[in-house]
Amino acid sequence: MEEEGEKVVSSAQLANECIVNAATVRKDLNYFGEFGTRGEGYDVKDLLYEIKRVLGLNKEWRIAVIGIGNLGSSLLAYKDFLKQNYRIVAAFDIDPPKVIGRVSEKLGKPVEVLHISRIKEVVKERKIQIGLITTPASEVQAVANLLVEAKVRGILNFAPAQITVPKGYVVKDVFFTTILDNLAYLLSNI
Amino acid sequence: MEEEGEKVVSSAQLANECIVNAATVRKDLNYFGEFGTRGEGYDVKDLLYEIKRVLGLNKEWRIAVIGIGNLGSSLLAYKDFLKQNYRIVAAFDIDPPKVIGRVSEKLGKPVEVLHISRIKEVVKERKIQIGLITTPASEVQAVANLLVEAKVRGILNFAPAQITVPKGYVVKDVFFTTILDNLAYLLSNI
């Protein structure tokens, strides 16, 4: 709506886009503050700003990818991240041939793949807040430990193994098998 | 527990593993049938069979990957799928160089990458039920249409674009940016 130049949006319009009811939209937004004006609706720019603030999307997140195989390489080249202020600013691997220089051409400048041993120093230098782990499952806890040691508070784990981190750190798992399980369940019930 | 040779499991044990309470375990399982014996618990083998049946995991699912770039290649080599009877039996791409022969060595035999134009014939021949789409976002609806035409009822979409399919077909999206949004939200609130 902002791109289309619209200034104001009603809860009914938002409800329609989200396929929920207008009262739910008002109640949910109200939970985070008084964003709208009764009878007029929400200012599009203000509402966008507030939602981004609530979701933690009003700033740049600086990201490292650890494990530059096929999956790691695809994440380095994942253009959609840039829309949302996700910037991959470092890439690490343990395997020397890969360390030489697989790069992401899609980002402003290529990201050089560094040896994993440099992670602590580079995290500090480049202010990295999120690590994407795409190593084999056997390595993922060791990598998570390195990230914790470097005080990287957010981890997205693509390796099919559970990891544990101390309090104050957040892990989200992306287990492709679990996602397929979900699809298989839905397919078994249509 | 089956691997460890245990014969019987109580709802309390299951509750403990799942970090819920025992009454919830009993109620949830009861929803699908009378699996346990009061005062004794559940037969491990039987319960495993029933849960797999409920989840649609008691059979082999035959899968095609469409779009063999970095992400598609990593899915072809994703060993964890095999644990759960997910078999990638075909791979398609539109780009001739790739069609020559990137393969998955991790599966029993390599999967040859075929030209997308052969999809309908190959789906029928190899009894494919699920398609994983890893093409650019601009191509994903066209690929979904081909899968629907070939009567592939389940689609896992990795491309960052919404697709629509007719009733009776199921789409699950794996949007990496949305997953990162979730992590960013959690990180903003610790």
Residues 160-189 of chain B with CB under 8 A from chain A are: 160, 168, 170, 172, 174-177, 179-189
- Residue B123: which of B164, B82, B91, B163 has the closest Cα? B91
* Beta strand segments in B31-159, E: 42-43, 61-66, 86-93, 113-115, 130-133, 154-157
- The Cα–Cα gap between A165 and B48 comes to 30
**CB-CB under 8 Å, A187 with B154:** yes
Nearest beta carbon to residue A55 from set B168, B181, B190 = B181
Name every chain A residue with its beta carbon within 8 A of the beta carbon of B129.
187
Q: Over the Cα atoms of chain A, what is R_g? A: 20
Residue B62 Cα, gap to closest chain A Cα (Å)? 11
- Per-residue tens of pLDDT for chain B, all 190 residues: 998 999 999 999 999 988 899 999 999 999 888 888 888 899 999 999 998 888 888 889 999 999 998 899 899 888 888 877 899 999 999 876 655 444 544 445 578 889 999 999 999 999 999 999 999 999 999 999 999 999 999 999 999 999 999 999 999 999 999 999 999 999 988 7
- The Cα–Cα gap between B173 and B162 comes to 8
How high is the ipTM of this complex? Answer: 0.82
Whose tokens are 């309470």? That residue is B21
Is the separation of the CB atoms in B67 and B90 below 8 Å?
no
- The Cα–Cα gap between B75 and A87 comes to 24
Q: pLDDT, tens digit, for every residue of A56-115?
A: 888 899 999 999 988 998 998 888 888 778 999 999 998 766 554 445 444 455 788 899
**Buried (b) or exposed (e) across B151-169, using 16+ Cβ within 10 A?**
ebbbbbbbbbbebebeeeb
Dig out the tokens for B131 from the structure.
């398609």
Whose tokens are 């979904």? That residue is B144
**CB-CB under 8 Å, A190 with B160:** no
